[in-house]
Amino acid sequence: MYLVNTKGIKKMINGIKPIVGTKTIVDNKDDYSTALSKMIHRIDEQYGEYYKKTLPNSTYSPITINKGRRFDKLVEGTRVYCFVEKETGDVYKSATWKQPYTKGNNCVRGSIYDTSTYWDKELKYGSWLYAK
């Protein structure tokens, strides 16, 4: 919440200033939906191969997107795979079902715009989100 004084300057009511970070540098020309679709396709591709080889009697439910105001939640079956920040394209691991882990120095795990952050990694378990 903001409190506006007589000079029109916004101040935080509790005195804590928000941390303003730099945006992710985009290394290719993909827009958000194209880059997100490319990442989801790669995850689904790896999960599909895994299910065919090791779990032939099980069916894989593809990644779905639950849209939010600031983050899109990627859901695989009954679990949250990760969160993607809409403004920057940064990928976060989940802290709970409803929110990403955004604390600490290494909370950003990758970017949907930079395919080198996820393309060659083992995506099917989501372990790349936790290894840092």
Question: 18 or 71: which carries more pLDDT confidence?
Answer: 71
Q: For residues 35 and 47, give the distance between their C-alpha atoms in angstroms, rounded to a whole number.
A: 19
Q: What percent of the chain has pLDDT over 90?
A: 23
Pick the closest to residue 39 from 69, 63, 66 (CA basis): 63
**CA pseudo-torsion sign 50, 52, 58, 61:** positive
Collapsed DSSP state (helix, strand, coil) of residue 132: coil
pLDDT at 24: 46
Where does the chain show beta strands of DSSP type E?
A: 2-4, 10-12, 64-67, 71-76, 79-85, 90-92, 108-111
pLDDT at 66 over 90: yes
pLDDT of 24-64, one tens digit each?
A: 444 444 588 999 999 899 888 888 888 888 888 888 888 89
pLDDT at 17: 47
pLDDT of 91-102, one tens digit each?
A: 998 899 999 998
Collapsed DSSP state (helix, strand, coil) of residue 31: coil
pLDDT at 131 over 90: no
Q: What percent of the chain has pLDDT over 70?
A: 69
Residues 6+ apart with CB under 8 A from 70: 85, 86, 87
**CB of 129 closer than 8 Å to CB of 109:** yes
